[in-house]
Amino acid sequence: MIIVPEKEIATLLGRTESYDAVEQVFAAMAAGDAYNFPVVREAIGHANALYGFKGGFDRAGMTLGLKAGGYWPNNLETHGLINHQSTVFLFDPDTGRVRAVVGGNLLTALRTAAASSVSINHLARKDAKVIGMVGAGHQATYQLRAALEQRSFEKVIGWNLHPEMLPNIANIASEAGLRFEAVELPGMVEADVIITITSSFAPILMSDHVSNGTHVACMGTDTVGKQEVGVDLITRATVFTDEVAQSITLGECQHVVAEGSKTEADIRQIGEVINGTHPGRQTDEEVTLFDGTGVGLQDLAVAGAVVDLAVERGIAIEVDF
């Protein structure tokens, strides 16, 4: 069995490798070569923790396994650890033997940023110049860095419920040599691409905050009850997702489907666009929207890439198990 500790991930996996792994697995999902298992997520009744599993099998990439982990709200204060904790376990699809244990914390941030990047690459207008960020927490910094590589952006605009957090994303813009401007939500009409990445339980970004031709990547809603954008915006947009089943149950589309203004059939997998079986954006006026719910196969894809790199570079820890 191979172990790749959390501390090695940053030196092994960059944004390019994460992008490639996630794009490939989205393509495999849409081709019917890869599928996710039902998600388990439970309040364990201890330490206020939410714990669960996301797993799947990718026959194209021969990756089988699961990510186990969740959210421990008191970790930072009480233990000096980050609140989100996860570990990926990979198994040999031919025998069922455990193949690898991989630290999953940074991987989660990288694979989530890769997902919105894949959506921007395939759905945003080629001439996109202004990117808008709704959210400025931990994940927002990864989202923005990865997104900036997809188009020749000239300016970053941002809104956050807690304005004192905006320097997190302003610093990323500045590192990239771009102007940053804090805006109110109606100011988002200037953006050609918008990423929402908050832990909101009520709509923030509404249809009249978004101009025609914009691509919106909704990345924060990964749980029943969460919501970042108005049903009016989703109703107006051409909607794509990582996995339709997750999108309508725990993703941003749970609300539009419950309200009845879109059905499951109106929501397409981003993998179809990658595979060329769906045209994706068809006009410069269309609003496209990606509901990135976060699937287990994304975690397995980046973990598989890490294991290969760790073995290649001689830093994988091998254990006789």
The only residue of 5, 16, 38, 162 in contact with ligand NAD, by rule CB under 6 A: 162
Among 36, 85, 86, 108, binds ligand NAD (CB under 6 A): 108
* 294 is a contact residue toward ligand NAD (CB under 6 A): yes
- Residues that bind ligand NAD (rule: CB under 6 A) add up to a total of 23
Distance CA 195, CA 147 (A): 9
Residue partners of 94: CB distance under 8 A and separation at least 6: none
Q: Is 313 in the site for ligand NAD (CB under 6 A)?
A: no
CB of 207 to ligand NAD, least distance (A): 18
- Residue 246 CB, nearest approach to ligand NAD (Å): 9
**Beta partners for 56?**
36, 65
Q: Does 82 bind ligand NAD (CB under 6 A)?
A: no
Q: Determine if 291 is a binding residue for ligand NAD (CB under 6 A).
A: no
CA–CA separation, 58 vs 303, rounded Å?
A: 13
Give every CB contact of residue 55 below 8 A, 6+ residues apart in sequence.
36, 37, 65, 66, 67, 296, 300
* C-beta of 129 vs 145, nearer to ligand NAD: 145
- The string of DSSP codes covering 117-157 is HHHHHHHS-TT--EEEEE--SHHHHHHHHHHHTTS---EEE
Q: Name the residue among 173, 175, 196 with its Cα closest to residue 251.
A: 196
> x/- contact string, 119-148, with ligand NAD (CB under 6 A)?
----------------xxxxxx--------
Nearer to ligand NAD, 150 or 168 (CB): 168
Residue 185 structure tokens: 């939500």
Listed ranges 7-15, 271-279, 292-300, 313-321: which one lies at the site for ligand NAD (CB under 6 A) = 292-300
Instruction: Please tell me whether residue 157 binds ligand NAD under the rule CB under 6 A.
Output: no
Distance CA 212, CA 110 (A): 29
Go through 268-287 and write b for each residue having 16 or more CB atoms within 10 A of its CB, e for each that does not: bbbbbbbeeebebbeeeebb
The Cα-based distances of 250 to 108, 152, 226 in angstroms read: 18, 33, 8
* Collapsed DSSP state (helix, strand, coil) of residue 5: coil
Binding mask 20-59 for ligand NAD (x = CB under 6 A): ----------------------------------------
- From residue 167 to residue 206, what is the string marking binding to ligand NAD with x (rule CB under 6 A)? ------------------------------xxxx---x--
* Per-residue contact string for residues 219-248; x = within reach of ligand NAD by CB under 6 A: xx-x--------------------------
Decide if 145 contacts 114 (C-beta within 8 A).
Answer: no
254 near ligand NAD, judged by CB under 6 A: no
Residue 292 as a binder of ligand NAD (CB under 6 A): the answer is yes
Burial profile 105-131: b = 16 or more Cβ within 10 angstroms, e = fewer? bbbbbbbbbbbbbbbbbbbbbeebebb
Sort 258 into a burial class: Cβ within 10 Å, 0-12 / 13-18 / 19+: exposed
Q: Is 210 in the site for ligand NAD (CB under 6 A)?
A: no
155 is catalytic: no
Q: Can residue 69 be called a binding residue for ligand NAD (CB under 6 A)?
A: no
User: Where in the sequence numbering do the catalytic residues fall?
Assistant: 67
Contact positions vs ligand NAD (CB under 6 A):
108, 112, 135-140, 160-162, 165, 197-200, 204, 219-220, 222, 292-294
